Structures are given as structure tokens and as C-alpha cells.
Copies of this chain bind each other. A is one copy, B any other.
């Protein structure tokens, strides 16, 4: 298969590109490196320095004999997107190429506008280019469980059957996103659903939970093939940050009470889910939505896991309940359905203290590279 990986430089994009390449697919990675620029703006870095994507791709070929093609370009440049799809004619398009940070999107007008413009218009350009050059390609779009917010009812996978005043319809599940970033994903989902229904494109919209983990089978093949691992308050997801804080001897920064409950999954399962979606494409005209998570935890439950794993390694884990920079419910019902990927064959790597121990062990080997000043959130949802 010809597989386009948009956002191929990123935390998930790079392991995805290697995974499909190793299986023998013809993979093209695309990136505009905007996340690298944001890192510089925000004064943050991944835990371990990254080689340029060009050098990692060369290292990948030297290590495995597999080529990954590279296109440097921006989805906002529609001519680049049209050219790419016309000449590469992908079978599957795996789309991670969006500004991925909720806090960044809440920092200022500039950054909110950048996020919605970059994500929504980039994806619009992609949809128009698909219509023109590869209308039968399967779009696999990374969305987020954060699109749903925390409703007081079970969260279905994309659509809900509603009985109202004696009549019934199945409609898009109502969304309550919690940042301009999450809103951009909601806008994308609506645009993609429309393109499928109106033009007969096919898409899988993956509402992904919070990803944790450092390694995949491919990143481990050779030093230098690792992926961008963030632990800061801008890009770092909560469990990744907690593990680094534990190693650094810093308190785990819990926002408010810590009752916030979310869906989680291992980075290995992100790859597995994307692979399952690719192997089992949506039908022509279908916009399929999967909730991509394997387990549900509250923030406080995660601190307990880190505490237990830390103890085994002789680390005493402390917790700091800091004022919540976000506007979100700290105690709430949360029951997202997530059976569709299991039905396709997903075998989850569940979170355990052993896994956390492994993460902490890995982080200990690069402990001196931790930048303690990036743990604390500086971006507040409300200015006051």
C-alpha cells in the first residue's frame, strides 16, 4: 500500500511511518516542522534531542533497508497538497499534521487563531485535494476524545441514537470541547463528515485518548530512531509528565482536585489502532468514528500508579495540587464506549505499574537532560 503520514516528524507520526515502512509499505512522511518552531517559541525541548527527520530517515534505511520518502511542506499550501496527492496517489492518508497542544491554543489570540487556521484550513485543503486526485483514498484522521468533553451520559463512538418526542434519529454525538485546540478538532470532524456525505470520500475519525509511552518496536531498533517525548506543560501529556517529574524528584503537578477522568492508551496501541483502521477501510461515503482508548483513569489514579512504581525503584513520589489553569470539571461522570477497535482486533497494552516502572527506568538514563522549569503550567484558560 501507499501510505501518506502527515505530521511524520511528530511523537506519533514518526513511529507510525517506521511501523508501516517495516511492513513493506511505500510510506511518505510529510511535515512542515511547525511544532519545532513552537518548541523554540515556548522554550521547551523533547527529553532526548531529536535528529532531523532527514537524518532519521537515512538511519532508518541504513538500519532496516527500508526507504521512507520525505516531503517537506505545509498543508496550508494547497498547491503542495494537490501535487502530493496527484503524484503519490496514496491508498491511505494518516493525518496527524495539526497543532496538538490545548494550552498553546489558549495562550493568546494569535495562537488560538493559528491553531484553528492551521488545523481547519489544512484539513480543508486536504479534503479538496482528495476529491480532485484520490477520492477513493482512505483518510485516517486523528481527533481527540476531548472533542466530547465530559457529558453526564455515556459517550458513544461518534454517533448517538436519540429518541425525542416519540421520534428517533441517529445523529452526530454532541460535542463540548474544552479549548480552541479541541474546538479545531470538532470543526475538522464536521468538515470531514460533510465531505464524506457530499462527495463520497471515506474517512475514519479517530477520537484518541491521552497517549503515554516512549517506545515502540521500531524506535528501539537503533539509538537515534526514538521519537519526540515531551514532558512539559505545553506538549507533555499527563502521565509522561508525571514519570519525568518523579525521576527529577519534583512533585507531580495535579491540576485542582485531580478527579478529572480521561481515556488513555499506550503509544504502541495508537500504532495498532491506526494499522487496524488502515487494514479495514471505511466504505465509500462513510465517515466512521472510533473512540481510540484502552482504559479510563482519573489523574489521581495515575499519581498512585507512579507512586507504586517509584517506590519499587527507590523514588519517593510527592504530589502538588496546584490551582487548575484550565476550565474543566474536576469531578464528573465519564464512560466512553470503545469497542469498535476491539472488534477489529485491537489487543490493548494495558497500563500497569510494571509499564510505569519501565518508563521511569528509561527516563532515569537521561535524567540530567530534564528541564525542571517547564513542568509548571503558565498558560491559564481564564486570565484572572
Minimum CB distance partner of A121 in chain B: B113
Q: Which residues of B contact A151 (CB under 8 A)?
A: 169, 171
Check: A173 CB closer than 8 A to any chain B CB.
yes
Flag if A116 contacts B121 (CB, 8 Å). yes
Flag if A116 contacts B109 (CB, 8 Å). no
How far apart sit A128 and B108, CA to CA, in the bound complex (Å)?
9
Q: Which residues of B contact A190 (CB under 8 A)?
A: 175, 177, 183, 186-187
Closest-CB distance, A143 to chain B (whole angstroms): 14
Closest-CB distance, A35 to chain B (whole angstroms): 21
How far apart sit A333 and B171, CA to CA, in the bound complex (Å)?
14
Q: Is the interface of A mostly helix, strand, loop or mixed?
A: mixed
**What does the 1/0 interface line of A154-173 toward B look like (CB < 8 Å)?**
10000010111101110111
Flag if B162 contacts A177 (CB, 8 Å). no
Contact A160:B154 (CB < 8 A) given known A124-B109, A198-B382: no
Q: Which residues of B contact A297 (CB under 8 A)?
A: none
Flag if A124 contacts B113 (CB, 8 Å). yes
Flag if A124 contacts B153 (CB, 8 Å). no
Assign chain A's interface to a size class. 35 or more
How far apart sit A211 and B16, CA to CA, in the bound complex (Å)?
50
How far apart sit A179 and B163, CA to CA, in the bound complex (Å)?
26
Minimum CB distance partner of A131 in chain B: B383
How far apart sit A183 and B179, CA to CA, in the bound complex (Å)?
19
Flag if B152 contacts A124 (CB, 8 Å). no
Contact A169:B187 (CB < 8 A) given known A121-B117, A382-B199: no
Minimum CB distance partner of A171 in chain B: B174
Within 8 A of B (CB), among A253-301: none
Flag if B153 contacts A169 (CB, 8 Å). yes
Check: A23 CB closer than 8 A to any chain B CB.
no
Flag if A175 contacts B177 (CB, 8 Å). no
- Selected from B116, B167, B168, B173, the residue in CB contact (under 8 A) with A124 is B116
Closest-CB distance, A171 to chain B (whole angstroms): 4
Flag if A174 contacts B172 (CB, 8 Å). yes
Check: A40 CB closer than 8 A to any chain B CB.
no
Query: In the complex, given contacts A113-B124, A152-B167, A175-B190, what are 14 additional A-B residue pairs having Cβ atoms less than 8 angstroms apart?
Result: A109-B125, A113-B121, A116-B191, A120-B120, A131-B383, A153-B164, A153-B167, A153-B168, A153-B171, A160-B162, A171-B174, A172-B175, A177-B190, A187-B190
Interface residues of A (CB under 8 A from B): 78, 109, 112-113, 116-117, 120-121, 124-125, 128, 131, 151-154, 160, 162-165, 167-169, 171-180, 183, 186-187, 190-191, 194, 197-199, 327, 333, 381-383
